[in-house]
Amino acid sequence: QLQASGGGLVQAGGSLRLSCTASRVSLDKYTIGWFRQAPGKEREGVACIGSSGAHTIYTDSVKGRFTISRDIAENTVALQITGLKPDDTALYYCMLLGYGRPCPDPLPNSGYGYQGQGTQVTVSS
């Protein structure tokens, strides 16, 4: 089970660093995706990092502002967010997207397994 953390309430233009951790699995060979769901909207995939760590994909609305990365030693996948906008307000999740594979393109709206409780990001204008 993956667990997302690091969300919070920030002003527009601010930054956050979200973290995805796993308690029972080593993430280093898994393809990991970050997803978000805003109230009244469908869940969308925002970023993905492939199993090698070299392949990343972002949805168009976050390109240049979101950066996904992997820390093998800490067994985490981070999502660094800069230039936050009110439209980024959502519940953010991390999920598995595969094993030993590059990111799917285009990004799907969900991954595999239980999504966890997510972490809330709220951006004030």
The answer to whether residues 11 and 121 touch, using CB atoms and an 8 Å cutoff, is no
| Six-digit token string for 121 | 């990001």
pLDDT band per the 50, 70, 90 thresholds, residue 23: confident
pLDDT at 115: 79
Is residue 15's pLDDT more than 90?
yes
CA distance 103 to 87: 24
Q: Going by DSSP bridges, is the β-strand pair 8-11/119-124 parallel, antiparallel, or unpaired?
A: parallel
> What's the pLDDT score for residue 52?
84
Do residues 45 and 108 make contact, with C-beta atoms less than 8 angstroms apart?
A: yes
Tell me the β-bridge partners of 98: 31
SS (H, E, C) 10-53: EECCCCEEEEEEECCCCHHHEEEEEEEECCCCCCEEEEEECCCC
The pLDDT value given to residue 79: 98
